[in-house]
Amino acid sequence: MSRLFTEAVLIGIVASGIRLAVPLLLASLGEMYGQRSGVLNLGVDGIMLLGAFSGYYLVLRTGNVWVGLVMGAFIGLLLGLASAVISVTLKAEQGISGIGVYLFGLGMSDLLFQKMVGTPIPISGFPDLDIPLLSDIPILGGMLFQHSAVIYMAFAAVPISLYVLNRTTFGMNIKAVGENPEAADSLGVSVTKIRYATVTIGGTFAGFAGGALAIDLGIFQQNLTNAAGFIAIALVYFGAWRPMGVMAGALLYGFVNALVLQLKTLGIISRGWSDISAMAPALITILALVIVARRFRQPAALTKPFTRGT
């Protein structure tokens, strides 16, 4: 047990937890916008996969991680737009259409990878960006301030989302449309425009998350996200549709995962308990967030298509 409390190990656990949390945080924040406006997009994982492939591919071809990241986000934007067409304009059953988007992303990302790349080829990931002065703080500096720029961008998106949702007209309209689209419509708010905007924002976040994941890992592989998009959707529910709740859920999931890995590495969790302990991150996160989320209710119009005059 004493090996757990060394500086290197403690820094490693926290830094690892943050890295594991970031793709979930980004995808969850994006999905939160859509759900707050009443649209559930179960296709997040598929969008992440196509964002991951496109980001990876652009870095492979150009060597520029930022070009790759932008491409991941752009592909996410396009797929978010397509999701909005399906859910908002065509008023498709959101659960079913989302699964369709997921399967499209899963299959297409693999097909593109097979045809355009073939065997996994490593790429250079994001360079670390040490924050001046803060990164020199003993222990804390290594844990929190020696990450890549994408990590800081992800966490910066939390207060920005908080501000957008609670302090801007756009945010108020999102919440109004998600709670009572008929009332919002009667006040002149375009439900269609708001929902298009939020689902497209969600897709962009998901594509960005996928691109960030692939570039950070420096590789792409079939089904790279390993269902992270579905965990992200769950985190929106359990984070009570609030940016801080979503962030808390993502961090909890990441930290428990990192802690379990480190405990296994040091032999504190025996090999006999290895497979069971692998379930711990999901179980603990769900338990913790269910307790919190029970106090909140979902947007009243979530998953309900809007038709004027009905």
Partner 1 sequence: MRKPRFIGIAILMAFTLVVAACGDDDADDTTAATTAATTAATTAAAPFRIAIVAPSASNDLAFSQSIVDAVNVVAAEMGNVEIEVTDGTFVVDDAAAAIRAYAADGVDLVIAHGSQYGGSLSEIAPDFPDTSFAWGTAADTFGLPNVYSYEAASDEGGYVMGVMGAALSTSDVIGVVGPIEVGDAKLYVDGYQLGALAEKPGATVNIVYTGSFGDVALAAEAAESHLAAGADVLTGTAQMVVGAVGVANENDMLWFGTQANQTSLAPSIVVASQVYHWEVLLRDIIANIEDGTLGGEIYSIDLANGGLVIEFNDGFDLPADVRAKADAAIAGIESGSISTTP
User: Which chain residues interact with partner 1 by CB under 8 A?
Assistant: 3, 8-9, 11-13, 15-16, 19-20, 23, 50, 78-79, 81-82, 85-86, 89, 108, 110-122, 125, 213, 217-219, 221-224, 226, 228, 257-258, 261-262, 264-267, 271, 274-275, 277-279
Rg (CA), the chain: 20
Query: Quick one: 78 or 164, whose CB is closer to partner 1?
Result: 78
Query: Quick one: 129 or 278, whose CB is closer to partner 1?
Result: 278
The alpha carbon of 274 is separated from its chain's Cα centroid by a whole number of angstroms, namely: 27
Residue 261: CB minimum distance to partner 1, A: 5
Residue 293: CB minimum distance to partner 1, A: 25
Residue 189: CB minimum distance to partner 1, A: 17
- DSSP-based three-state secondary structure for 126: coil
Tell me the CA distances in angstroms from 132 to 129, 136, 145, 182, 240, one per residue in order: 9, 7, 9, 51, 35
Query: Quick one: 135 or 221, whose CB is closer to partner 1?
Result: 221
Residue 63: CB minimum distance to partner 1, A: 16
Query: Quick one: 153 or 268, whose CB is closer to partner 1?
Result: 268
The residue type at 57: Y
Residue 306: CB minimum distance to partner 1, A: 15
Query: Quick one: 52 or 157, whose CB is closer to partner 1?
Result: 52
Query: Quick one: 20 or 165, whose CB is closer to partner 1?
Result: 20
Query: Quick one: 24 or 293, whose CB is closer to partner 1?
Result: 24
Query: Quick one: 131 or 282, whose CB is closer to partner 1?
Result: 282
Q: Are 233 and 43 in contact (CB under 8 A)?
A: no
Residue 53: CB minimum distance to partner 1, A: 10
Per-residue tokens: 171: 């945010």
- DSSP-based three-state secondary structure for 146: strand
| Residue 86 per-residue DSSP state | I
Per-residue tokens: 51: 């964002």
Residue 264: CB minimum distance to partner 1, A: 5
228: part of which helix (H) or strand (E)? helix 228-238
Per-residue tokens: 188: 């002149």
d(CA 119, CA 115): 10
Instruction: Determine what percent of the chain falls in helix, strand and coil, rounding each to the nearest 5.
Output: 75, 0, 25
Angle at 66 between CA 60 and CA 70, to 5 degrees: 95
Residue 286: CB minimum distance to partner 1, A: 16
238 Cβ contact partners less than 8 Å away, ≥ 6 residues apart: 245, 249, 285, 286, 289, 290, 292, 293
